[in-house]
Amino acid sequence: MADIEKIVLSDKFAAFDTYWDPKVAGELNGQQVRLAKLKGDFVWHSHEHEDELFLVVQGLLRIELRDSQVELGPGEMVIIPRGVEHRPVADEEVHVMLFEPAATRNTGQHTNERTVSTLERI
Amino acid sequence: MADIEKIVLSDKFAAFDTYWDPKVAGELNGQQVRLAKLKGDFVWHSHEHEDELFLVVQGLLRIELRDSQVELGPGEMVIIPRGVEHRPVADEEVHVMLFEPAATRNTGQHTNERTVSTLERI
């Protein structure tokens, strides 16, 4: 039988302290559960082929869209459809769970200093 | 632009009170975010082609496996790989978020009185 591991989110978040550096907490059906700590503002980007789910675990996350914005607290989530430009902004530290295809690059169509090419598993 | 809706988990859970009757709270990349209230014990089943994620939002969920079990509290999750027989058991009411392919049937390979064929969107 495959190894079945209980994943405790608080333990996983305690295991790293970098910002904008998603870690892979699990994988299923070609999708990854990623955990990230966010602080400050990210770059505007979109994902051409992938929808992206943000579920806030701790803190307050604002996701800016070109013509509106969404504010998310703990237990709140949003799905950003593919192709939609967005910019996550965290005035204070935010812990977020992301759900997206394993192939999704954090900066979407852009490659820049915020791009994380190989995600660490935790 | 596609409609971008903030999803408040507590509001969604407040919108239904049936057990073992998953509701679709969101869809992305051919996967669904499902919310369910569980109480009592479910049937033993497996999913031939789909891995399944259980994230507990409220309560204590025990997932029995044929040779072990996993107990999950709020903020804890597990991924049950395809093909692995499992049985969720909730001694008291549990609120759980499921993440699985849109095609996944709740009772896996079985059809019985617990099977929910068409999931409602909330």
Furthest C-alpha separation in chain B? 49
Question: What does the block give as tokens for A110?
Answer: 């852009």
Residue given tokens 């051919």 in the structure block: B30
Percent of chain A past pLDDT 90, that is, above it, reads 76
What is the per-residue pLDDT across A46-81, written as a single tens digit (0 to 9) for each?
Answer: 999 999 999 999 999 999 999 999 999 999 999 999
The per-residue pLDDT string of chain B (122 residues; one tens digit each, 9 = 90 and over) reads 457 889 999 999 999 999 999 999 999 999 999 999 999 999 999 999 999 999 999 999 999 999 999 999 999 999 999 999 999 999 999 999 999 998 777 888 778 887 877 788 88
Q: How far is A50 from chain B (nearest CA, A)?
A: 6
CA nearest neighbour of A23 among A13, A12, A14, A34: A34
B53: nearest CB among A28, A81, A100? A28
Q: What ipTM was reported for this prediction?
A: 0.90
What's phi and psi for A91, nearest 5 deg?
-65, -35
| Amino acid in the structure at residue B73 | G
User: What is the C-alpha to C-alpha distance for residues B65 and B89, in angstroms, rounded to an integer?
Assistant: 11
CA dist B80 → A62, A82, B44, B45, B101 (Å):
32, 27, 13, 11, 13
Q: Do B76 and A8 touch (CB under 8 A)?
A: yes
CA nearest neighbour of B86 among B51, B39, B57, B35: B51
Q: Which CATH superfamily is domain A9-101 in?
A: Jelly Rolls (2.60.120.10)
Domain ranges for chain A, please list them.
9-101
What is the per-residue pLDDT across A8-61, written as a single tens digit (0 to 9) for each?
Answer: 999 999 999 999 999 999 999 999 999 999 999 999 999 999 999 999 999 999
Residue pair A75/B10 in contact (Cβ under 8 Å)? The answer is yes
> Choosing among B28, B64, B72, B80, which should be mutated to test the A contact, i.e. which has the most A CBs within 10 A?
B28
| Amino acid in the structure at residue A112 | N
